């Protein structure tokens, strides 16, 4: 029997802390729903005390998710723990995840505390958290640069105080597999109580070793791995969940461990995260990169065509790829659409289905074949829709190779029409400048990408626009068979997200 490894997903906490990956409440809920569909064991939904927005996201996710434990991060202080508990207390299975730094460099320069003080505070705070919640995870930040004997003593103390999971992070991605194995074995040797609780690791990828270190930790006795979808996270990121899960599945023969993750949901989770953050995965990224299952070279292609086995150690179907059924067309009715929505795992009210169906009809009219991925794009975009402060009414673009492009863009702002004209370096630049004039605040265009959702001449164009306002980046997407229309919608969508985020703070009017 394989040993079962718990998957602790921190996409919404450590992942979200990485530049350009911030998500709003609706996006976090959508991501949490997908993590639940994948059956991750624990969702770390955020760091409740860090901002009112984070608190609200943790609380809402705790109240939405039923099948996974929901955790909030908290420093080892009463204020943090109170706030974390307030956010997760309504979850079916709440977890408080408290941490303190344990390496000499962190204790001396960041905490300005002695090891004895760190020990006392940790034990006291685990006891404090335990009064609220039975499930307490304790993390020793920068563990891999800490003294293993000190860690063993500390872990013994916090286990006695009630910690149910001990997490050993490689916070700066510094360790290497053999060293990490020895380090964990040494801690275990000096802390027999570790046998009675969950032993977890949390590896960062600064040296590209996060997954290798996580796998070797299983050999050393870990039964929980902390990771993120697409490996997003601070700096070089965290261990990528899809890589760990598929390594365990594919090499069960040597690793003798498995997870409860529904692997066929992996590709969808990866796409959803990319759609939300606008951060694409590199094409050669293991498991979820565009080329991960592509066999381009002549030799490989020849081999694959005859029999896939020589080059395929796992199938694309096992991670949810190649399930591009042609599903619906312009003659499909609402019943078929509703059934498809259910089959794809989305929960929608009748009103939402009706709205999405009207949009589907517009696409189906323009496109011969509508794939699952088109529907998935359409629905998740609807589900994550923020209030539409601005809406696109109409636009006229004049462009050519011998004239300067001009755009007349007509939007509504809070239902009132507003129009602006602008010249630009090409039709999209002209349209963006006209929108910028309408919005009237100092926005910087950070990034613009255009891709197609599926293949073919009639594929949906998927535009991603990232704008920066007051130091924060907002990404918007637009979908249309017309790329200018997709781009305009993407820009307006990013502006609406900016308003959604900032309106309460009264930074824009």
- CA–CA separation, 180 vs 171, rounded Å? 13
CA-based torsion, 43, 320, 238, 141: positive or negative: positive
For residue 186, the cross-strand partners are none
Which residue of 18, 72, 139, 165 would you call a contact of ligand KIV, by CB under 6 A? 139
Question: Under 8 Å CB-to-CB from 319, ≥6 apart: which residues?
Answer: 242, 246, 263, 264, 266, 267, 287, 288
> Which residue's CB is nearer to ligand KIV, number 171 or number 389?
171
Identify which range of 118-126, 166-174, 250-258, 341-349 contacts ligand KIV by CB under 6 A: 166-174
Choose between 108 and 343: whose C-beta lies nearer to ligand KIV: 108
By beta-carbon proximity to ligand KIV, the closer residue of 187 and 386 is: 187
Residue partners of 237: CB distance under 8 A and separation at least 6: 15, 18, 204, 205, 210, 228, 231
Q: Report how far apart, in Å, the C-alpha atoms of 165 and of each of 35, 83, 201, 248 are.
A: 21, 20, 10, 21
Helix (H) or strand (E) segment spanning residue 375 = helix 372-383
**Which of ligand KIV, Zn ion, none interacts with 34 (beta carbon under 5 to 8 A by kind)?**
none
- Is there binding between residue 214 and ligand KIV (CB under 6 A)? no
Contact in structure between 369 and 456 (CB atoms under 8 Å): yes
Q: How far is the CB of 83 from ligand KIV (least distance, A)?
A: 15
Of the listed pieces 18-26, 163-171, 186-194, 358-366, which binds ligand KIV according to CB under 6 A? 163-171
406: contact with ligand KIV by CB under 6 A: no
Residue 318 DSSP code = G
The token duo for 316 is 């694309």
Instruction: Supply the DSSP symbol for 145.
Output: G
Which helix (H) or strand (E) is 362 found in, with range? helix 350-366
Cβ proximity to Zn ion: between 14 and 462 the closer is 14
Q: Which of 27, 135, 141, 485 binds ligand KIV (CB under 6 A)?
A: 141
DSSP class of residue 164? S
- Burial category of 167 from C-beta neighbours within 10 Å (exposed 0-12, middle 13-18, buried 19 and up): buried
Contact (CB, 8 A) for 40 and 48: no
Site for ligand KIV in 229-248 (CB under 6 A): none
Sheet holding 444-452, edge to edge: 444-452, 461-469, 472-480
Min separation Cβ 167 and ligand KIV, Å: 6
Which does residue 469 bind out of ligand KIV, Zn ion, none, counting CB within 5 to 8 angstroms by kind?
none
Q: How far apart are CA 477 and CA 451, in angstroms?
A: 11
SS3 of 418, please? strand
CB nearer Zn ion, residue 14 or residue 377: 14
Residue placing its CB nearer to ligand KIV in the complex, 14 or 242 = 14
165 lies in the site for ligand KIV, by CB under 6 A = no
Measured from the CB atom, the residue of 139 and 380 that comes closer to ligand KIV is 139
Among 171, 277, 389, 480, the residue binding ligand KIV under the rule CB under 6 A is 171
Strand pairing report for 416-424 and 405-413: antiparallel
Residue with tokens 């505390």: 113
Which does residue 139 touch among Zn ion, ligand KIV, none (CB within 5 to 8 A, set by kind)?
ligand KIV
146 touches ligand KIV (CB under 6 A): no
11 lies in the binding site for ligand KIV (CB under 6 A): no
Q: How far is the CB of 269 from Zn ion (least distance, A)?
A: 19
Tokens 């490894």, residue located: 5
* Interface residue list for Zn ion (CB under 5 A): 14
Specify the stretch interacting with ligand KIV by CB under 6 A; choose among 49-57, 164-172, 329-337, 375-383.
Answer: 164-172
Interacting partner of 270 out of Zn ion, ligand KIV, none (Cβ under 5 to 8 A depending on kind): none
Nearest residue (CB) to ligand KIV, 128 versus 371: 128
Choice between 172 and 279, CB closer to ligand KIV: 172
Q: Which of residues 76-135 bind ligand KIV (CB under 6 A)?
A: 99
* Partner touching 141 among Zn ion, ligand KIV, none, CB below 5 to 8 Å by kind: ligand KIV
Rounded CA-CA distance 240/248 in Å is 13
Pairing of strands 224-227, 6-9: parallel
Q: Among candidates 341, 363, 324, which has minimal Cα distance to 486?
A: 363
The minimum distance between CB 480 and Zn ion, in angstroms, equals: 38
Query: Of 140 and 267, which CB lies nearer to ligand KIV in the complex structure?
Result: 140
Residue with tokens 């996006």: 27
Length of the chain: 509
User: If you write DSSP's letter for every residue of 45-72 in order, what string do you get?
Assistant: EE-GGG-HHHHHHHHHHHHH--SSEEEE
Among 106, 202, 340, 381, binds ligand KIV (CB under 6 A): 202
Q: With respect to Zn ion, which residue has the nearer C-beta, 225 or 321?
A: 225
Contact residue for ligand KIV among 6, 12, 14, 488 (CB under 6 A) = 14
Kindly state the number of chain residues that form the binding site for ligand KIV, as judged by CB under 6 A: 9
Candidates 162, 169, 237, 478: give the one binding ligand KIV (CB under 6 A). Answer: 169
User: What is the rounded CA–CA span in Å between residue 27 and residue 11?
Assistant: 12
Residue among 148 and 427 whose Cβ is closer to ligand KIV:
148
Q: Does 16 bind ligand KIV (CB under 6 A)?
A: no
Which DSSP category does 285 fall into?
-
Contacts to ligand KIV by CB under 6 A: 14, 99, 139, 141, 167, 169, 171, 202, 204
């Amino acid at each position: 029997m394989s040993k079962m490894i718990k998957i602790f997903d921190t996409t919404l906490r450590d992942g979200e802390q990485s530049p350009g990956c911030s998500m709003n409440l609706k996006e976090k809920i959508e991501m949490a729903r997908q993590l639940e569909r994948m059956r991750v064991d624990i969702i770390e939904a955020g760091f409740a005390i860090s901002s009112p927005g984070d608190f609200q996201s943790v609380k809402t996710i705790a109240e939405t998710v039923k099948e996974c434990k929901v955790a909030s991060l908290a420093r080892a202080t009463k204020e943090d723990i109170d706030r974390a508990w307030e956010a997760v207390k309504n979850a079916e299975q709440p977890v408080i995840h408290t941490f303190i730094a344990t390496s000499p460099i962190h204790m001396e320069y960041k905490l300005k505390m002695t090891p004895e003080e760190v020990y006392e505070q940790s034990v006291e705070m685990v006891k404090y958290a335990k009064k609220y919640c039975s499930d307490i995870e304790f993390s020793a930040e920068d563990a891999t640069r800490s003294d293993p004997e000190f860690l063993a003593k500390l872990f013994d103390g916090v286990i006695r105080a009630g910690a149910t999971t001990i997490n050993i992070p490689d916070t700066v991605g510094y360790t290497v597999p053999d060293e990490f194995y020895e380090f964990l074995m040494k801690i275990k040797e000096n802390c027999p109580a570790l046998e009675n609780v969950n032993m977890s690791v949390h590896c960062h990828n600064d040296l590209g070793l996060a997954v290798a270190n996580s796998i070797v930790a299983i050999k050393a006795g870990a039964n929980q791995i902390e990771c993120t979808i697409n490996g997003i996270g601070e700096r070089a990121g965290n261990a990528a969940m899809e890589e760990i899960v598929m390594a365990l599945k594919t090499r069960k023969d040597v690793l003798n461990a498995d997870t409860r993750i529904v692997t066929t949901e992996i590709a969808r989770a990866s796409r959803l995260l990319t759609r939300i953050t606008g951060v694409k995965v590199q094409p050669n990224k293991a498991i979820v990169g565009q080329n991960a299952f592509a066999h381009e070279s002549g030799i490989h292609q020849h081999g694959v065509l005859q029999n896939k086995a020589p080059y395929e150690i796992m199938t694309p179907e096992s991670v949810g790829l190649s399930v591009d059924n042609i599903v619906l067309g312009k003659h499909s009715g609402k019943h078929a659409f509703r059934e498809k929505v259910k089959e794809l795992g989305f929960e929608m009210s009748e009103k939402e289905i009706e709205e999405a169906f009207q949009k589907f009809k517009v696409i189906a009219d323009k496109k011969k074949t509508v794939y699952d991925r088109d529907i998935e794009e359409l629905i998740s975009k609807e589900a994550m829709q923020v209030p539409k402060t601005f809406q696109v009414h109409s636009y006229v673009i004049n462009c050519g190779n011998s004239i300067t492009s001009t755009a007349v863009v007509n939007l509504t702002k809070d239902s009132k029409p507003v129009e602006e004209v602008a010249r630009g370096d090409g039709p999209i630049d002209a349209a963006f400048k006209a929108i910028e004039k309408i919005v009237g605040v100092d926005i910087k265009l950070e990034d613009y990408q255009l891709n197609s959702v599926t293949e073919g001449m009639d594929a949906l164009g998927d535009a991603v626009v990232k704008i920066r306002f007051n130091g924060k980046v907002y990404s918007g997407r637009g979908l249309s068979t017309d790329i200018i229309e997709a781009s305009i919608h993407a820009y307006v969508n990013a502006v609406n997200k900016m308003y959604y985020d900032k309106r309460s703070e009264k930074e824009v009017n």
